[in-house]
Amino acid sequence: MAGTQVNPTRMELTRLKKKLVTAVRGHKLLKDKRDELMRQFLDKVRENKALREEVETALVSANQNFMLARAGMPDEMLNTALLAPKQELTISAGTQNVMSVEIPDFDFKTRTPDQNDMYSYGFAFTTGDLDDAILSLSEVFPKMLKLAEVEKSCQLMAAEIEKTRRRVNALEHVMIPELQTNIKYITVLATGYNVVDIACARERGIPVCNVPAYGTASVSQYAIALLLEACHHIGHHSDAVHAGRWASCPDWCFWDYPLIELEHKTIGIIGFGRIGQSTGRIAKALGMRVLAYDVFPTDAGRAVGEYVELDTLLAASDVIALHCNLTPENEKIICRENIAKMKDGVILVNNARGQLVAEQDLADALNSGKVAAAALDVVSTEPIRSDNPLLQAKNCILTPHISWAPIESRQRILDCTIRNVRQFLSGTPENNVWG
């Protein structure tokens, strides 16, 4: 329209917003690719480890058998065989328990008639040890070739992961150059702040403020709700009653799963800050023993539970609940190795961060029965991907990240965020996570 004034600031902000949205989408796709590559890489590493152990075992066995077989070989022949170039030494299997070795330049005519008969084709052993050795080698060579293939695959995948990681980091640090010079303050409407590059913000002197205590009651309450659902399957039995199962039941009650009483059982809580301690207090009210692991033990925590080492907690707990923030050190803390340290039939509760769990490892443990049940409100990628292995795992309760969502909690988020912004504008930032 003629005469309309264009606001250059608004146009610039619109342009920057579009650029930011595009960069964020690209960043997410790269991170998803990196995470998937890492999952595949870890699978290959495990395959590589298993193959290497098989190859080493088979080689030891073959070597022992050959040593037994060689015990009867004349020293003169053995020395000749050892000195012969590899390409000139021919080894071939004959009948079931006979192997012939052709050794160049060995004078069989100097042997006695009995020896000539025995070594008329070089030499031969009629021994089960040699037969076992041949069998061992026939099995180990394909494994050695497979091992080399897997190791090469691991190298290629590691290179691709490193390449993707560098692209992710580059995008995080130079995502919007025009905005980087203008950003003065970052606020997160949550307690967790792993979505922000804290090191980059600290380097540029940008406060990053979170809402530290809004969800203590709601998140701990939800953790216990997840645990109780795993113990009683309330939703399932309610659905069964509505479907007519009780009305048609010949008995006065029924249940489809083992029902679990929590009194006198042990809950191990990994991450024992405000939320972890709140969960511990509720668990104590149910009659449970409370163990805790945290890198920063406190007197307030000691009043609720007993601090122990991580391995002790894993081994002693009937229930393990995650209430720690996500760091590079604890990412995938629930993995195959640590699950092996847990009691058989343990219950896992996680409404902290999905990346704390190696999801394929947990799915395998659920399907094998090592972990009796998992009750999760978070997964590694949200919304959950259709190929997430937990969707098909046995006894796995999944809810869509709603621990934080009661109206009371959401009101506290708004109140605290408004206060954070006001404090920043007044020159006294509050709840800055890095300073």
Active-site residue numbers?
353, 382, 401
Q: Which of 308, 298, 296, 219 is nearest to 269 (CA)?
A: 308
The alpha-helical segments, DSSP class H, found in 71-83 are 75-83
Would you say 206 and 214 are in contact if contact means Cβ atoms under 8 Å apart? no
Own/partner pairs for 56-59, CB < 8 Å, 24+ apart?
58/136, 58/139, 58/140, 58/143, 59/136, 59/140
Would you say 352 and 375 are in contact if contact means Cβ atoms under 8 Å apart? no
Q: Are strands 319-322 and 396-398 parallel, antiparallel or unpaired?
A: unpaired
CA distances from 273 to 102, 266, 299, 326, 360 (A): 74, 19, 11, 13, 28
Q: Which of 248, 241, 283 is nearest to 263 (CA)?
A: 283
| Cα–Cα distance for residue pair 413/216, rounded to 1 Å | 12
* Beta-bridge partner residues of 146: none
Tally of residues, the chain: 435
